[in-house]
Structures are given as structure tokens and as C-alpha cells.
Copies of this chain bind each other. A is one copy, B any other.
Amino acid sequence: MSLINLHSTADLHSNAIIIDGLIIAKWSRALFEDMRKGGLTAANCTVSVWEDFQGTIDNIVMVNQLMRDSADLVRQVHTTEDIRQAKREGRTGIILGFQNAHAFEDQLGYVEIFKRLGVGIVQMCYNTQNLIGTGCYERDGGLSGFGREVIAEMNRVGIMCDLSHVGAVTSEEVILESKKPVCYSHCLPAGLKQHPRNKTDEQLKFIADRGGFVGVTMFAPFLKKGIDSTVDDYCEAIGYIMNIVGEDAIGIGTDFTQGHGPEFFDMLTHDKGYARSLTEFGKIVNPLGIRTVGEFPNLTEALLKNGFSEPQVRKIMGENWLRVLGDVWGTEHSQTQESGAGLVSEQVVAASDAELAFQG
């Protein structure tokens, strides 16, 4: 690659909208600094997995303080205009996201409460059964009646439904039920490796055919070569999914977990955070070349090197997420609650993960 090409690659990354549809890294100023190093425009950052309503509020309180203390690096985003504004300011826009709808408890009204606090994407289930449906690690009886009401409320207020860790039956029923686009914010194709968390070609086609969206993760145990994978293997998976869903319905959802220790992964991989063990991933190393958030520019470079066109790279790296989030969140800026429209505001990207992802 010539020096000129290297320069243009760096330019592309620095002037493009770069959105990560799922990060579950440890919240800290160090993370925000790495986001800036990686040139992230916005990211969907997990604030709830097993926590109940008030436990999730407590997480948001903690995160609000961290964002305030690092206002030179990050800003909260409620709308896609906020994301564009973050880009202009050279800050990273933070979208709050849940990996589990458990925090809604049994109250439809809590959906709107969280929307006002900046939650833009919520995964319907996390690995196991909740009041809405069932996750991908146990028998899945499908979407509940209450789940249908939750989806209607999420549609109304503008929170995107995420299905990454949701079971196949529940996922299909959510896709059919939702009146707004839904997503797998962070998944890999079963066509490259069989795994309960990976999605079959049929599942990928099903969501895309109904206006849905797919964010591609790079979680090593779900990649063909496991912990020996590189950023090129990540590009292969992106290409595989793009061939099925098309170049407008695909984005990035890394599932970065940097900064967390073993206790965090123990919590994630046990049902309810403490009950039976659900998964065992062994040693986890992110693909070579994209082991940390700060290495994000390498992904842009690798996509170009692997034959993706510049317009495709721009779409994959963020423009597609920006468009679909706008579709779900609406274009109003005010959070003031109004009649039918509810509090129409927007917020950025995707969902979260229960997988181990120790940084090698």
C-alpha cells in the first residue's frame, strides 16, 4: 500500500461517521480516551444486563457522572442530530443501551422513563427467559403478550429492539410484531461457524427482508478461527453477512469488553447474574488488529484492503446505523412529552453481550 493510500485511508476514517453498535467495556475515562483514539463518532454502551429498574437507574447515575467528568471527550446523544453534533465537536456520542429488558420490570411506563434518560436501544432478552420472551440459550416459547405491549411502547417512544441474544422463535415474532426496524446489534453468521449465538442465513435474510438491521460482532469464540482470528477474519464475516442482507442493512457491533475482570464475566455468564452457569468460553482474545477500541481505524483500513468500496465502508462503519437509528428514534429533538408522538427524541446505536472477551 502506498503512502498516498495510507493517508487517504486515515482521512476516510477520520471524516466518516463511525458508530459501534455495541460496547460493553468498563465505563471509565480511559475508555472514553480510547474511543477518541479510535475515532468513534458514537457507540451504544450497555448500562443494564441483569439489573432491575432501580439498579439500572443507579448505573445511569454512575455513567452520568463519568460523562460529565469527561465532557471534553464524550457527550450523551438522544438524537441522530446529537450524533452529527458529536462528530462536529470531536467528541464521542454515548447512546445508553440495555442488553436485557428486565429493567422495565412489569411496568410499560418504565419504557418512556428510560427513553427520557437517554436509552436508545434495548435487547428484548438476555440469554434466558424474561417477561417478554426467551434468550438464545434455552428452549424458546416465543414472544409473550406483555412482550407485544412492550414492543408497541418501544415503537411509540422510539427505542430500537435488539435481538442479538434472543432465541430464534422470539426473534422472529419480534421482527413481525415491531412497526419500526429492529436489529441484531452484534452477531456473526452460523454459515461460517455453528453456535447458538450465531444467526443462520435464513435468519439474516428474514430480518433484512423486513427492514431490519444487522451489526456484526467479532467475538472470537463465534469466529471460524476462534482466538487465532485477525481483523481480516472479521472482514470476512462482514462480507458474508453483507452478501445476504445487502450493503444498506449492515453495520458494526464489536462487543468490546475492555477493562473488565473475571468477576464481570462471571456475572454475565450466569443466569440472573448469579444463578446457573450458561456458557463457558475459555480464553478470549479479540482478533489481531482490533483488540481495543483505539484500534478502530484498522478496521476501516482492513475493509478497504479486503475489497470493500469506499461508499460501502462508509455505510458499514456508521452511515447505516445513523440512518436506521433516525428511522426508529424519529427526527424531533425535544424530549417534552406530547400527545401521540410521546417524547420523540433520538439516541444512537445497539445492544450488548454475555460473552467473555478478555483482552489478550
Residues of A within 8 A of B (CB): 53-54, 57-58, 60-62, 64-65, 67-68, 71-72, 75-78, 82, 107, 109-110, 112-113, 116-118, 333-340, 342
CA distance in complex: A65, B343 (Å):
12
A77 — nearest CB in chain B belongs to which residue? B336
CA distance in complex: A67, B337 (Å):
8
- Partner pick for A107 among B61, B82, B334, CB 8 A cutoff: B61
Known: A54-B53, A65-B109. Contact between A76 and B336, CB under 8 A? yes
Give the residue among A75, A82, A337 with the most B Cβ atoms within 10 A: A337
CA distance in complex: A109, B62 (Å):
8
CB <8 Å contact, A336 and B78:
yes
CB distance from A189 to the nearest CB of B (A): 37
- Partner pick for A64 among B58, B67, B82, B109, CB 8 A cutoff: B109
Contacts of A335 in B (CB 8 A): 78, 116, 335
A60 — nearest CB in chain B belongs to which residue? B113
CA distance in complex: A78, B333 (Å):
13
Known: A116-B117, A117-B113. Contact between A337 and B58, CB under 8 A? no
A82 — nearest CB in chain B belongs to which residue? B336
CB <8 Å contact, B339 and A57:
no
CB distance from A68 to the nearest CB of B (A): 6
A334 — nearest CB in chain B belongs to which residue? B333
When all copies of this chain in the complex are counted, the total is 2
CA distance in complex: A357, B71 (Å):
48
Contacts of A68 in B (CB 8 A): 337, 339-340, 342
Known: A64-B337, A71-B338, A342-B68. Contact between A113 and B57, CB under 8 A? yes
CA distance in complex: A142, B116 (Å):
35
- Partner pick for A338 among B53, B60, B75, B118, CB 8 A cutoff: B75
CA distance in complex: A112, B82 (Å):
20
A-B contacts, 6 of them at CB < 8 A, read A57-B110, A60-B113, A61-B107, A68-B340, A71-B340, A75-B338
CA distance in complex: A75, B112 (Å):
16
CB distance from A262 to the nearest CB of B (A): 28
CB <8 Å contact, A112 and B64:
yes
CA distance in complex: A325, B220 (Å):
54
CB <8 Å contact, A61 and B109:
yes
Contacts of A65 in B (CB 8 A): 109
CA distance in complex: A26, B116 (Å):
25
Known: A71-B340, A117-B117. 8 other contacts (CB 8 A): A57-B113, A58-B107, A60-B109, A64-B112, A64-B337, A68-B337, A68-B339, A335-B335
